[in-house]
């Protein structure tokens, strides 16, 4: 029996309701985050002077691959703190972006998960305590005028990428490392007061008020993933014939993208968390599609 497109989606109830895309995504994210935390703890506990000591989770950071890429191409060597794994993980991320857009950001990146978890605490408190919900509503209303600032701040990640890439090529060392909140968090037992710790604390605090602040404004990896992802044939597509303009998708988007008014989500900022697809109440109105550049949209008839 086929599903009628445009009809209200029937949501499962009871225990079956737990099996949804977002819970599956949280499970995947939790798996990667837990792996990285275990690696960081093991690395902190076993001295590196021991042969076969556990690897640092830094070895799995794709930005290390970006930083060492130029040095590796020109000299065949890796810059300090980078190993062959840095380049291989970068390759995995880029391949993923080419095939599945920003799936790395929305499903795998442990630092993105960490920020989402912090925002989750605020959402939980909002649901649980009316006073917190009221406070959040007031804060949202008062900061509505800051949307223009938000738009400009998003260019920060491109500046970060350009600055640190240029600096790394020039100095042949990881100039971004002291500023990297993720690396600081991984080596928290060795952390000293510096830019990395300050940015980490700021990210933690901001995450309680806005979703994924580091990803939105400063992460130098997200523009690379997003730009490569533009080449992917997989996109989130809105079919206006079935859409009733409720805009619930735009509200759900953690990156504050105007999903409800777009026909295809091609924004670099989209992290493919699929929250918009998940909340859409109409069958066929918002879907994840695979479309070749020469193919027509699912339903070409516009309202």
Decide if 176 contacts 164 (C-beta within 8 A).
Answer: yes
167 is a contact residue toward another protein (CB under 8 A): no
Q: Give the Cα separation of 156 and 140 in Å (integer).
A: 22
118 is a contact residue toward another protein (CB under 8 A): no
44 is a contact residue toward another protein (CB under 8 A): no
Q: Give the Cα separation of 208 and 119 in Å (integer).
A: 5
21 is a contact residue toward another protein (CB under 8 A): yes
Q: How far is the CB of 32 from another protein (least distance, A)?
A: 9
288 is a contact residue toward another protein (CB under 8 A): yes
Q: Which of 1, 15, 16, 51 binds another protein (CB under 8 A)?
A: 51
SS3 of 201, please? helix
- Supply the DSSP symbol for 135: H
How many CB atoms lie under 10 A from the CB of residue 179? 20
Q: How far is the CB of 60 from another protein (least distance, A)?
A: 8
182 is a contact residue toward another protein (CB under 8 A): no
- Supply the DSSP symbol for 8: B
25 is a contact residue toward another protein (CB under 8 A): yes
Q: Which of 37, 42, 92, 248 binds another protein (CB under 8 A)?
A: 92
Structure tokens at 116: 């989402």
Among 41-49, 145-153, 156-164, 249-257, the segment contacting another protein (CB under 8 A) = 41-49
297 is a contact residue toward another protein (CB under 8 A): yes
Decide if 133 contacts 243 (C-beta within 8 A).
Answer: no
3 or 8, CB closer to another protein?
3
Decide if 227 contacts 254 (C-beta within 8 A).
Answer: no
Q: How far is the CB of 18 from another protein (least distance, A)?
A: 14
56 or 222, CB closer to another protein?
56
Q: Give the Cα separation of 294 and 297 in Å (integer).
A: 10
Q: Which of 59, 117, 246, 248 binds another protein (CB under 8 A)?
A: 59
Decide if 289 contacts 296 (C-beta within 8 A).
Answer: no
Q: Which of 37, 99, 133, 197 binds another protein (CB under 8 A)?
A: 99
Q: Which helix (H) or strand (E) holds 235?
A: strand 234-238
80 is a contact residue toward another protein (CB under 8 A): yes
Q: Give the Cα separation of 12 and 76 in Å (integer).
A: 55
Closest CA to 256 of 272, 270, 268: 270
Closest CA to 224 of 171, 269, 179, 168: 269
Q: Give the Cα separation of 219 and 206 in Å (integer).
A: 14
17 or 149, CB closer to another protein?
17
Q: Tell me how many residues contact another protein (CB under 8 A).
A: 50
45 is a contact residue toward another protein (CB under 8 A): no
250 is a contact residue toward another protein (CB under 8 A): no
169 is a contact residue toward another protein (CB under 8 A): no
Closest CA to 266 of 293, 248, 296, 240: 293
108 or 268, CB closer to another protein?
108
> In the complex, which residues of this chain contact another protein (CB under 8 A)?
21, 24-25, 28, 47-49, 51, 53, 55-56, 59-60, 77, 80, 83-85, 88-89, 91-93, 95-96, 99-100, 103-104, 107-108, 173, 190, 192, 234, 272, 274, 277-278, 284, 287-292, 295-298
């Amino acid at each position: 029996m086929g599903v009628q497109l445009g009809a209200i989606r029937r949501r499962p109830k009871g225990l079956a309701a737990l099996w949804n895309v977002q819970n599956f995504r949280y499970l995947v994210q939790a798996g990667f985050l837990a792996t990285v935390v275990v690696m960081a703890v093991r690395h902190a506990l076993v001295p590196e002077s021991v042969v076969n000591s556990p690897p640092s989770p830094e070895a799995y950071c794709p930005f290390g691959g970006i930083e060492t890429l130029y040095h590796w191409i020109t000299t065949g060597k890796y810059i300090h703190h980078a190993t062959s794994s840095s380049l291989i993980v970068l390759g995995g991320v880029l391949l993923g972006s080419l095939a599945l857009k920003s799936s790395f950001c929305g499903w795998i990146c442990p630092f993105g998960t960490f920020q989402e978890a912090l925002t989750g605490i605020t959402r939980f408190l909002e649901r649980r305590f009316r006073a917190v919900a009221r406070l959040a509503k007031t804060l949202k209303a008062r900061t509505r005028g800051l949307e223009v600032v938000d738009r400009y701040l998003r260019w920060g990640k491109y500046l970060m990428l350009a600055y640190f890439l240029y600096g790394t090529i020039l100095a042949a060392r990881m100039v971004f490392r002291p500023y990297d909140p993720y690396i600081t968090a991984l080596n928290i037992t060795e952390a000293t007061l510096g830019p990395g710790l300050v940015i980490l604390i700021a990210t933690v605090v901001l995450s309680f008020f806005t979703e994924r602040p580091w990803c939105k404004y400063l992460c130098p990896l997200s523009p690379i993933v997003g730009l490569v992802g533009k080449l992917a044939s997989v996109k989130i597509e809105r079919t206006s014939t079935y859409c009733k303009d409720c805009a619930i998708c735009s509200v759900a988007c953690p990156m504050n993208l105007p999903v409800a008014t777009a026909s295809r989500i091609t924004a670099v900022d989209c992290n493919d968390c699929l929250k918009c697809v998940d909340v859409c109440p109409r069958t066929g109105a918002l879907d994840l599609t695979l479309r070749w550049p020469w193919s027509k949209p699912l339903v070409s008839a516009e309202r």
